[in-house]
Structure 1
Amino acid sequence: MFRLFLAAAPAALLMMSSAQAEPVDYAMDLTHSVVRATWDHQGYSQQSVEFTDFNGTLALDLETPANSSVDITFNLIDGMFAGGHHERFIAHLNSDDYFGTAAAPIAHFVGTGFETEDGITGVMTGDLTMNGQTHPVMLDVELNKSGETRDGASKLGFTATGSLDRSEWDMGFLAPFISDRIEIFVSTEVSASPTAE
C-alpha cells in the first residue's frame, strides 16, 4: 500500500531527487498512524478494535516502483485496544476462538502489487498472515497529502480501506451471528530521513 502512491503520485515525484536510483527507506510515524478493524454486532451496533503495536519496513524506489517493498508486522499480544474497559474481550480475541496468539502472536502483511490510473487513488494487494494462515487482501488506497517534514525530508500521508472475511483465517467464531465481514481502516504518515534522499 505504501509503494502505490510513491510510485504514482506526480506531486511526490517532483519533491524527490531526480537522481535517485535505489530504494529509499521510509519510516512510519507511529504517533500519527491508526489501524482499525470494525464489524457488525448482531445488527445492533458497529464495534471495533485498534491495533496499537505495529511497525514496518518500507523501501521505496520512485524511478523503478517494482523495486519498492512494504512489510508490516503487528504484535497481537497486548497490541489490541477496544476502548473503555474491555480486558475480557481482548482476552477472548487472543484466545483460540480468534487470533490464537499463544501459537501465533504476530500478524504480518506483505505488499504484492498495485494498480492506479490517476496517481491519487488505487488498489493495493498483499498477503496477510494471521492465526497461522496466509490469504490475499485488497485495499483501496488514497493519497491524502505529499509534503516535507520540518527537517526537509519527504513525507506522505494516505488512507487505506478494505474488507476481509475472518473465517478465511479460521476465526469464524459465532459467524454470521456476529458478522464474518470485517472492515479495515488504515491511516498513516511516512517520511524518509533527510540523509536517505
Structure 2
Amino acid sequence: MKNLKTIAIALFVAAAGISVNAQTKKIDVKASTIKWVGKKVTGEHSGTVNFKDGAVVFKGKKLTGGSFTVDMTSLTATDLTGEYQGKLNGHLKADDFFGTDKFPTSKLVFKTIGAKSADVYTVTADLTIKGITKPVTFDITVNGNTATTAFKVDRTKYDIKYNSGNFFENLGDKTINDDFELAVSLKF
C-alpha cells in the first residue's frame, strides 16, 4: 500500500511538472503583423493582413507549438491609395484570389519544429487558405517575447490561379508570380 501511494505521488508530481513546463502564450493581435508582397512582370504590390487570434507554445524556453488564425477580410494593399487601392483590395478579396466572403479566415498550425540554432527553429506547418490545407516550411527566430519569420507561399496550391503563367498562355505583362511573400512579426 505504501508503494502504491509513493507511485501515485510520483505520477502526480510528474504530470504536474509536464503541465507546468508547457506554456501557451497568446499573441498580441494588435502588435503582431503580417506584411505581404505579390509580384508581377510589371512590378509588385504590397500590403498587410491582420491576425484574428493565435498562440505559441513553449516547453521551458523551447518553441514546441503554434496556431494562428488570420482575418482575410482585413487584407489591404499599402502601396496604393484611393480608387486604385479600393480596386486592388476588391479584386484580392474576390473569388479570383482569396474569396473572403466564403473564406473569411486562413489558418496556420505548427506540425513539426526542429531546433536549427539557439533561437532559430525550422517549422513545418499546415497552412489553410480557401479551405485548402497544404504544408509550408520556414525558419522562425524567437527572441524574448517576439518571433519573426519570412517565407513564400505558392498561391496556385490554394486554387488561386488568376493570371498564373503556369496555367494560362499569352499573358505577357499581365502575368502574376505564383509565389507571394510573407513577413511575420509576432508579439506575445
TM-score using structure 1 length: 0.72
The corresponding residue for 1:57 is: 55
**Amino acid across the alignment from 1:81:** T
The corresponding residue for 1:82 is: 77
What is the number of equivalent residue pairs in this alignment? 159
RMSD: 2.3
Instruction: Judge conservation of contact 1:34–1:186 (CA < 8 Å) in 2.
Output: yes
Task: List runs of 5+ in structure 1 lacking aligned partners.
Answer: 1-17, 147-155, 191-197
Larger Rg: 2
Compared CA separation, residues 138 and 118, structure 1 to 2 (3 A): same
Higher relative contact order (CA closer than 8 Å, sequence separation 6+): 1
Instruction: Judge conservation of contact 1:138–1:163 (CA < 8 Å) in 2.
Output: no
The corresponding residue for 1:13 is: none
The corresponding residue for 1:159 is: 148
In the TM superposition, what are the counterparts of 1:84-103 in structure 2 within 5 Å? 84-85=81-82, 86-103=85-102
For residues 20 and 63 of structure 1, the distance between their equivalents in structure 2, rounded to whole angstroms, comes to: 14
Q: What percent of counterpart residues are identical?
A: 21
The corresponding residue for 1:47 is: 45
Indicate the SS of the match to 1:81. Answer: strand
The corresponding residue for 1:130 is: 129
Instruction: Judge conservation of contact 1:21–1:63 (CA < 8 Å) in 2.
Output: no
TM-score using structure 2 length: 0.75
Instruction: Judge conservation of contact 1:35–1:184 (CA < 8 Å) in 2.
Output: yes
Instruction: Judge conservation of contact 1:52–1:81 (CA < 8 Å) in 2.
Output: no
Report Cα offsets for 1:3-39 as digits up to 9, x if no partner. Answer: xxxxxxxxxxxxxxx9973422312123322112212
For residues 108 and 18 of structure 2, the distance between their equivalents in structure 1, rounded to whole angstroms, comes to: 30
Instruction: Judge conservation of contact 2:32–2:51 (CA < 8 Å) in 1.
Output: no
Instruction: Judge conservation of contact 2:53–2:69 (CA < 8 Å) in 1.
Output: yes
Indicate the SS of the match to 1:98. Answer: coil
